[in-house]
């Protein structure tokens, strides 16, 4: 039986300065955003839409604010409001983990809208551009969750080769759900979306595909994760993560329908007023 290694959440400590693994995963996420962004700008249809590598650094600054502020607010409001309002000092303790992807998604949309107003890009063109660069960053965050021994899975059949005991929870074999979400919601989604976005697509198609695929992937992997809480709709019970994924599925379908019923090419920034 596998046992979670429970590594020290602090990767490096020099005197009072402590660098946490969770923070390093976010640095990795932001670094891959820049690296993938440079590759994406080399694609002819992306360059033709007016994207330049100079856009990436400024966009990343806004994106970091959107991810951190939105992700933390989502964790506070969507998942653990009672705890955080009882312990307000922990609201800013992001190094302990606890970031909501759905909150971060909303935060990034707002940040990109603000950045687009300054640089003359429309929101949906920005979302189409950045969508393929998001899943690997998400995967890095889930690896950080695993290192922090967060988000334990539901009980698993002991015969499952990778069933794992989480000593900080109990002695019951469980699914390593952060690894599932890293692989499915992150790496698999990246592969599918990267290949989809390599060819010219109508406006909103890439963003719509991301929203649809992530919502479906997250809805599936939530079956293996211990729910933060569950929501009952008559005889149907779903987890909080599944409930928050349903709007993303609906949004993705709507965006794809609009994109392919009335195809439009992305608008270069110079054409936006």
Residues 6 or more apart whose CB falls under 8 angstroms from that of 183 comprise: 139
Q: Is 261 annotated as a binding-site member?
A: no
Residues 6 or more apart whose CB falls under 8 angstroms from that of 92 comprise: 72
What's the DSSP call for residue 265? P
CB burial of residue 12 (10 Å; 0-12, 13-18, 19+)? exposed
Dump the DSSP string for 10-43. EEEEETTEEEEHHHHHHHHHHHHHHHHHHHHHTS
**Cα–Cα distance between 268 and 49 in angstroms, integer?**
5
Distance of CA 27 to the CA centre of its chain: 14
Residue 270 · residue 50 · CB < 8 Å: yes
Query: How big is the chain by its Cα radius of gyration, in Å?
Result: 19
Within the chain, what is the greatest distance between any pair of CA atoms? 61
Residue numbers in the known binding site are: 142
């Amino acid at each position: 039986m596998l046992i979670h290694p429970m590594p020290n959440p602090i990767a490096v400590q020099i005197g009072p300065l402590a660098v946490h693994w969770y923070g390093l995963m976010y640095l990795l996420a932001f670094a891959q955003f820049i690296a993938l962004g440079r590759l994406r700008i080399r694609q002819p249809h992306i360059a033709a839409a007016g994207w330049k590598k100079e856009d990436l650094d400024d966009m990343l600054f806004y994106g970091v604010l959107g991810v951190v502020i939105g992700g933390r607010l989502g964790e506070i409001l969507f998942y653990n409001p009672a705890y955080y309002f009882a312990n307000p000092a922990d609201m800013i303790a992001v190094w302990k983990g606890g970031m909501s992807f759905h909150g971060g998604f909303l935060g990034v949309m707002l940040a990109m809208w603000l950045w687009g107003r300054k640089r003359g890009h429309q929101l949906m063109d920005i979302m189409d551009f950045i969508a393929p660069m998001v899943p690997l960053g998400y995967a890095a965050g889930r690896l950080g969750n695993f290192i922090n021994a967060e988000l334990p899975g539901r009980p698993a059949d002991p015969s499952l080769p990778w069933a794992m005991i989480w000593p900080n929870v109990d002695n019951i074999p469980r699914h390593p759900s952060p690894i599932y979400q890293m692989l499915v919601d992150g790496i698999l989604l990246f592969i599918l979306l990267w290949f989809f976005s390599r060819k010219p697509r109508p406006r909103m198609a890439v963003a719509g595909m991301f929203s649809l695929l992530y919502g479906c992937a997250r809805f599936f992997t939530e079956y293996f994760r211990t729910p933060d809480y569950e929501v009952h709709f008559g005889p149907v019970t779903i987890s909080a993560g599944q409930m928050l994924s349903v709007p993303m599925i609906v949004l993705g379908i709507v965006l794809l329908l609009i994109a392919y019923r009335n195809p439009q090419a992305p608008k270069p920034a110079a054409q936006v007023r």
